[in-house]
């Protein structure tokens, strides 16, 4: 199988390169899966953690905040996965001390920046999850609005007769989104964590 | 109002939040220094809370009523009502012998009661004895009430008050979430700078003091930021898709087969074993492949299955009044067909399964390297064209078999038999196109017993011809038939799902 350098992998993640993403999955997922299953997690937990770890790395890359000095991509990925799982264990009130560490990780990567980024990722991930549950009409409308497309233009694209209707519809969509977010128990947990 | 009444009046006003700001401030100043006042206020609050808990009061009332009813209804002798009946028997006033009791109506319960009567040291009897004697009834009731209320207080705390507290908390939480001071529209207007000056000033003033509103505005901002991250949403979707469709192992298909066959060596074996130790998906894949190999290796079972299939077909054949041409030696034809089918399936399937995603060709090469035929009983009857062709086929003289078959005259209704064996011979000669052509004739005939096999072999030919879409379609048709080759077709589809996309 072809192997890629860390630089190629990082570039691939930035470009959402399917081949690189497949490579990462095939190369590292099973180790993360093994670690999580050994530590009271399930297959679903493993795929969630793995996916979010890639997203966290992507966020880091976007912020130009990812330089491997002592670590490697593998080391960083495993460290992030481990960190995410520790957070989950904490939420589930499962003792972290009994952790069965099968992943190589670097404690020094767990800095405030990572904690902050992971928190943001978790919060934004929740909002995005609910956004995806809206009707495609609502999704498109909100997205156009956030892309600063004018109401006139939005009305035209969406086939609404007036701008006023576009505006009202946008409020309705957003209201629904906010309602769903607030009703989510995860949201309440996030709020508790923040306080 | 007397000073005392005024004192209580102020406490009450304070508890009910009826004091104006100045009075309240004054009162609270006093409260901070005056312990007696604090106790009084606390008492008022407790009373107020208790009065508000109407459900608890109702329950308490109901329980007391039940208790009173029980007291009234309790029989004076306290013998589980059984002595009521006994008391009606005049003789019981006197000493009864045990035998007399046994012989009377409902004797066993009465014996039980009799024994109770005899034993006076039991608590229950003491209790009822006291009631019957009517001595200190009031005192007893008071004691009992005390005892009951003590128990009830615990019950109230455990069952009711925690519920009430939780409900109160939940209601507060709900009130917070469902009653925003400003609507989504107003907050959006504020964030988009579309709020009118007058309302804006009011909104901003509120924002400075109201943390809930501040949180609400923060949530709106966060949501907007989150929804702008279309790239992240796309990446997440992409990852999800990969994880749903791709295998999670990091070894090639060939390595898996080589591992099973014991052909992996040194470093490769070490790497494979290391992954196998942790990768549960790979473990499952290896186990599945081993099972398939074992299943394919069960020649006796397959042979039995083929025989059973033939028996079924034979029965059907009988019903449709002989579709196969009558002058055929049926047994011999069936044997030939089964043997060919068996070998093709075994070798073909092993070949297909053993191959890597990209090497369908190699699978066929492997298959045709050393085809072995099951021994066949000697043909002593006169050889017709088909039988001669069979012998040629057995001797791997596929070309000869084809020529013989070509020269064997058959009617249109019987042509499918000839076509089928011609196709098999072409397949052995790796003339896939011709094999497909003849299999197609068999399938197009639409009313014969070779169709399922023809479809199966044709799908293998398509694989060899690299016509993946057709192969997939053919394999799906085989699966739809739910016949003998269904599982094999599923296995091939599964194995080749990457090349068949």
pLDDT digits (tens, 9 = 90+) for B97-126: 555 555 555 555 555 555 555 544 444 444
Interface of B with A in 221-250 (CB under 8 A): 222-236, 238-240, 242-243, 246-250
Residue whose C-alpha is closest to residue A60's, from A41, A73, A47? A73
CB A152 within 8 A of CB A163: yes
Q: Collect all residues with Cβ–Cβ distance below 8 Å to B174 and sequence separation of at least 6.
A: none
A contacts of B248 (beta carbons < 8 Å): 25-26, 29-30, 33
Q: Residue length, chain A? A: 195
Per the structure, the count of domains in chain B is 5
Are both A15 and A68 inside the same structural domain?
yes
CA distance B241 to chain A (A): 10
And the tokens for A138?
């609502």
B371 pLDDT higher than 60: no
A52-76 pLDDT, tens digit each = 999 999 999 988 877 776 678 999 9
And the tokens for B474?
């053919």
Alpha carbons within 13 angstroms on the beta-carbon side of residue B67 total 16
Residue A149 lies in a domain: yes
Per the structure, the count of domains in chain A is 2
Cα distance between residue B39 and residue B25, in whole Å = 18
Residue B8 lies in a domain: yes
B394 pLDDT higher than 70: yes
Of B223, B238, B247, the CB nearest to A16: B238
Are both A37 and A90 inside the same structural domain?
yes
B221 pLDDT higher than 70: yes
CA angle A125-A130-A133, nearest 5°? 130
CB B449 within 8 A of CB B310: no
- Euclidean distance between the first and final Cα of chain A, in Å? 48
Alpha helices (H) in B134-279, listed in sequence order: 137-155, 162-178, 184-191, 197-209, 211-228, 230-245, 253-260, 266-278
Cα distance between residue B293 and residue B258, in whole Å = 13
Residue B172 lies in a domain: no
Cα distance between residue B389 and residue B329, in whole Å = 14
Q: Which of A45-54, A97-106, B106-115, B458-467 has the highest mean pLDDT?
A: A45-54
C-alpha distances in Å from residue B357, one per residue of A29, A56, B427: 22, 34, 21
Interface of B with A in 162-191 (CB under 8 A): 177, 183-185, 188
And the tokens for B190?
């504020």
Q: Residue B458 is inside which H or E element, if any?
A: helix B451-464
B138 pLDDT higher than 70: no
Q: Collect all residues with Cβ–Cβ distance below 8 Å to B256 and sequence separation of at least 6.
A: B249, B282, B285, B286, B289
Residue B180 lies in a domain: no
Residue A147 lies in a domain: yes
A13 pLDDT higher than 90: yes
Which residue pairs, CB below 8 angstroms and at least 24 apart, start in A136-142?
A137/A173, A138/A169, A138/A172, A138/A173, A138/A176, A138/A177, A141/A166, A141/A169, A141/A170, A141/A173, A142/A170, A142/A173, A142/A174, A142/A177, A142/B227
Q: Is A39 on the interface with B (CB under 8 A)?
A: no
pLDDT at B49: 66
Are both B325 and B436 inside the same structural domain?
yes
Are both A80 and A154 inside the same structural domain?
no
Give the burial class of B130: count Cβ atoms within 10 A of its Cβ; 0-12 exposed, 13-18 middle, 19 or more buried.
Answer: middle
Q: Is A4 on the interface with B (CB under 8 A)?
A: no
Average pLDDT, chain B: 69
pLDDT at A93: 76
Residue A89 lies in a domain: yes
CA angle B22-B27-B32, nearest 5°? 130
Are both A79 and A162 inside the same structural domain?
no
And the tokens for B51?
């009065």
And the tokens for B452?
């399922």
B contacts of A34 (beta carbons < 8 Å): 278-280
Residue A141 lies in a domain: yes
Cα distance between residue B101 and residue B107, in whole Å = 6
| SS3 (DSSP) at A16 | coil
Percentage with pLDDT > 90 across chain B: 3
Are both B201 and B101 inside the same structural domain?
no
Locus of tokens 């209201």: A175
Of A112, A145, A161, the last residue of a domain is A112
A9 pLDDT higher than 90: yes
Least confident range from A75-84, B326-335, B438-447, B452-461: namely B326-335
Cα distance between residue B429 and residue B436, in whole Å = 12
The arithmetic mean of pLDDT across residues B28-35, rounded, is: 84
Are both A101 and A148 inside the same structural domain?
no
pLDDT at A181: 92
pLDDT at B492: 77
Beta-carbon separation of A29 and B243 below 8 A: yes
B464-493 pLDDT, tens digit each = 888 888 888 888 888 887 777 777 787 777
Of B35, B52, B69, the last residue of a domain is B52
Instruction: Label residue B397 left, alpha or beta by phi (over 0 means left) and psi (-120 to 50 means alpha).
Output: beta
| SS3 (DSSP) at B320 | coil
Domain span holding position A30? 1-112
And the tokens for B149?
């209320």
> At B395, is the pLDDT very low, low, confident or very high (cuts 50, 70, 90)?
confident
| SS3 (DSSP) at B235 | helix
The DSSP line for B396-444 is T-HHHHHHHHHTS---GGGHHHHHHHHHHHHHHTT-HHHHHHHHHHHHH
Interface of A with B in 68-127 (CB under 8 A): 102, 123-125, 127
A105-164 pLDDT, tens digit each = 777 777 888 899 999 999 999 999 999 999 999 999 998 988 888 989 999 999 999 999
Are both A12 and A79 inside the same structural domain?
yes
pLDDT at B373: 36
Are both B68 and B9 inside the same structural domain?
no
Residue B173 lies in a domain: no
Residue B500 lies in a domain: no
Are both B462 and B318 inside the same structural domain?
yes
Locus of tokens 């990209």: B358
Which of B278, B282, B286, B498 to probe by mutation at the A interface, max A CB count within 10 Å?
B278
pLDDT at B301: 65
pLDDT at B313: 67
Cα distance between residue B164 and residue B166, in whole Å = 5
Percentage with pLDDT > 70 across chain A: 95
Are both A107 and A187 inside the same structural domain?
no
B236-269 pLDDT, tens digit each = 999 988 888 888 888 887 888 888 888 888 888 8
B442-451 pLDDT, tens digit each = 888 877 777 8
Residue B177 lies in a domain: no
CB B363 within 8 A of CB B354: yes
Are both B389 and B329 inside the same structural domain?
yes
pLDDT at B81: 44
Least confident range from B44-58, B164-178, B479-493: namely B44-58
Residue A126 lies in a domain: no
Are both B33 and B127 inside the same structural domain?
no
Which of A18, A146, A173, A177 to probe by mutation at the B interface, max B CB count within 10 Å?
A146
Are both A55 and A97 inside the same structural domain?
yes
B52 pLDDT higher than 80: no
B299-320 pLDDT, tens digit each = 666 666 676 667 666 665 554 4
And the tokens for B207?
């924002």
Beta-carbon separation of B226 and A124 below 8 A: yes
pLDDT at A141: 92
Cα distance between residue B136 and residue A94, in whole Å = 59
Locus of tokens 């495993």: A78
Residue A117 lies in a domain: no
Beta-carbon separation of B227 and A171 below 8 A: no
And the tokens for B240?
């999800």
Residue B66 lies in a domain: yes
C-alpha distances in Å from residue B222, one per residue of A126, A178, B217: 11, 11, 9
Of B208, B243, B278, the last residue of a domain is B243
B69-103 pLDDT, tens digit each = 544 444 444 444 444 444 444 444 455 555 555 55
Which of A17, A124, A140, A181 to probe by mutation at the B interface, max B CB count within 10 Å?
A124
Are both B148 and B229 inside the same structural domain?
no
pTM over 0.80? The answer is: no
Domain span holding position B85? 58-158
CB B203 within 8 A of CB B195: yes
Residue whose C-alpha is closest to residue B383's, from B330, B329, B323, B315? B329
Cα distance between residue A35 and residue A37, in whole Å = 6
CA distance B177 to chain A (A): 8
Cα distance between residue B404 and residue B121, in whole Å = 112
Q: Is B212 on the interface with A (CB under 8 A)?
A: no
Are both A108 and A139 inside the same structural domain?
no
Which of A17, A18, A42, A51 to probe by mutation at the B interface, max B CB count within 10 Å?
A51
Of A21, A50, A175, the CB nearest to B238: A21
Q: Residue length, chain B? A: 501
A contacts of B229 (beta carbons < 8 Å): 124, 128
C-alpha distances in Å from residue A18, one per residue of A28, B166, B205, B448: 15, 50, 51, 48
Least confident range from A22-36, A178-192, B148-162: namely B148-162
Higher pLDDT, B373 or B469: B469
Of B184, B232, B246, the CB nearest to A58: B232
The 8-class DSSP code of residue B91 comes to: G
B contacts of A27 (beta carbons < 8 Å): 250
pLDDT at A32: 94
Of B139, B158, B177, the last residue of a domain is B158
CB contacts < 8 Å between A and B, how many?
A: 112
Are both A91 and A3 inside the same structural domain?
yes
The DSSP line for B331-359 is HHHHHHHHHHHHHHHHHHHHHHHHS-TT-
CA angle A61-A65-A68, nearest 5°? 90
A24 pLDDT higher than 90: yes
Are both A107 and A160 inside the same structural domain?
no
Cα distance between residue B229 and residue B233, in whole Å = 6
Higher pLDDT, B64 or B279: B279
Query: Could you tell me how far CA B160 lies from the centroid of its own chain?
Result: 36
Cα distance between residue A190 and residue A195, in whole Å = 9
Are both B351 and B371 inside the same structural domain?
yes
CA dihedral angle for residue B482, residue B485, residue B490, residue B495, rounded to 10 degrees: 180
B144 pLDDT higher than 50: no
Residue B364 lies in a domain: yes
Query: Could you tell me how far CA B113 lies from the centroid of its own chain?
Result: 57
pLDDT at B90: 45
Residue A118 lies in a domain: no
Higher pLDDT, B388 or B64: B388
Residue whose C-alpha is closest to residue A127's, from A177, A85, A173? A177
Percentage with pLDDT > 70 across chain B: 52
Higher pLDDT, A189 or B171: A189
C-alpha distances in Å from residue B345, one per residue of A18, B192, B395, B487: 37, 70, 19, 12
B155 pLDDT higher than 80: no
The DSSP line for A148-177 is T--HHHHHHHHT-S-HHHHHHHHHHHHHHH
pLDDT at B76: 43
Least confident range from B227-236, B279-288, B374-383: namely B374-383
Cα distance between residue B213 and residue B262, in whole Å = 69
pLDDT at A173: 92
Are both A90 and A149 inside the same structural domain?
no
């Amino acid at each position: 199988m072809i192997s890629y350098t860390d630089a190629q992998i990082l570039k691939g993640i930035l470009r959402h390169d399917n081949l690189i993403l497949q490579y990462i999955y095939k190369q590292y997922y099973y180790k993360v899966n093994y670690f999580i299953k050994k530590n009271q997690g399930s297959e679903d937990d493993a795929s969630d953690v793995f996916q979010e770890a890639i997203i966290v790395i992507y966020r880091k890359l976007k912020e130009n905040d990812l330089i491997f000095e002592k670590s490697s991509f593998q080391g960083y990925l495993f460290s992030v996965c481990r960190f995410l799982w520790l957070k989950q264990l904490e939420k589930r009130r499962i003792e972290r001390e009994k952790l069965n560490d099968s992943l190589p990780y670097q404690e020094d990567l767990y800095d405030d920046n990572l904690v902050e980024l992971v928190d943001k990722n978790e919060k934004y991930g929740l909002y995005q999850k609910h956004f995806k549950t809206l009707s495609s009409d609502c999704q498109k409308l909100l997205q156009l609005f956030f892309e600063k497309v004018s109401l006139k233009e939005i009305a035209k694209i969406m086939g609404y007769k007036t701008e006023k209707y576009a505006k009202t519809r946008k409020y309705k969509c957003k209201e629904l989104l906010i309602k769903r977010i607030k009703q989510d128990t995860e949201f309440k947990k996030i709020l508790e964590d923040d306080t | 109002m007397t000073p005392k009444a005024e004192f209580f009046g102020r406490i009450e006003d304070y508890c009910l939040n009826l004091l104006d700001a100045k009075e309240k401030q004054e009162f609270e100043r006093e409260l901070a220094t005056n312990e007696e006042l604090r106790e009084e206020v606390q008492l008022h609050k407790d009373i107020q809370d208790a009065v508000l808990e109407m459900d608890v009061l109702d329950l308490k009332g109901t329980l007391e009523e039940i208790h009173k009813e029980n007291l009234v209804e309790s029989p004076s002798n306290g013998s589980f009502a059984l002595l009521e009946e006994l008391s009606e028997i005049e003789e019981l006033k006197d000493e009864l012998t045990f035998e007399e009791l046994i012989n009377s109506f409902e004797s066993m319960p009465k014996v039980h009661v009799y024994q109770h009567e005899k034993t006076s040291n039991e608590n229950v009897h003491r209790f009822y004895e006291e009631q019957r004697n009517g001595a200190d009834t009031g005192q007893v009731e008071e004691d009992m009430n005390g005892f009951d209320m003590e128990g009830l207080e615990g019950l109230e705390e455990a069952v009711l008050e925690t519920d009430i507290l939780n409900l109160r908390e939940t209601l507060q939480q709900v009130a917070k979430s469902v009653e925003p001071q400003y609507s989504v529209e107003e907050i959006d207007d504020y964030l988009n700078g579309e709020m009118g000056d007058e309302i804006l000033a009011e909104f901003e003033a509120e924002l400075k003091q109201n943390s809930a509103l501040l949180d609400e505005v923060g949530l709106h901002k966060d949501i907007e930021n989150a929804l702008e991250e279309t790239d992240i949403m796309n990446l997440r979707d992409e990852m999800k898709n990969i994880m749903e469709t791709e295998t999670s192992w990091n070894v090639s298909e060939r390595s898996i087969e080589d591992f099973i066959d014991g052909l992996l060596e040194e470093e490769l074996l070490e790497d494979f074993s290391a992954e196998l130790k942790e990768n549960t998906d790979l473990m499952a894949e290896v186990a599945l492949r081993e099972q398939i190999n074992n299943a394919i290796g069960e020649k006796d079972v397959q042979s039995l299955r083929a025989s059973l299939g033939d028996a079924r077909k034979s029965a059907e054949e009988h019903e449709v009044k002989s579709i196969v041409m009558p002058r055929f030696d049926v047994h011999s034809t069936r044997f030939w067909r089964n043997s060919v089918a068996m070998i093709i399936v075994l070798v073909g399937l092993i070949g297909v399964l053993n191959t890597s995603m990209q090497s369908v060709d190699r699978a066929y090469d492997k298959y045709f390297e050393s085809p072995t035929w099951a021994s066949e009983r000697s043909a002593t009857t006169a050889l017709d064209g088909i039988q001669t062709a069979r012998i040629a086929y057995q001797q791997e003289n596929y070309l000869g078999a084809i020529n013989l078959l070509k020269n064997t005259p058959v009617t249109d209704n019987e042509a499918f038999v000839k076509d089928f064996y011609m196709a098999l011979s072409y397949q052995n000669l790796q003339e896939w196109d011709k094999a497909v052509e003849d299999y197609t004739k068999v399938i197009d005939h639409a009313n014969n017993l070779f169709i399922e096999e023809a479809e199966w072999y044709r799908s293998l030919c398509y694989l060899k011809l690299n016509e993946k879409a057709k192969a997939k379609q053919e394999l799906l048709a085989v699966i739809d038939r739910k016949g003998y080759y269904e599982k094999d077709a599923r296995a091939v589809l599964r194995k080749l799902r990457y090349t068949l996309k």
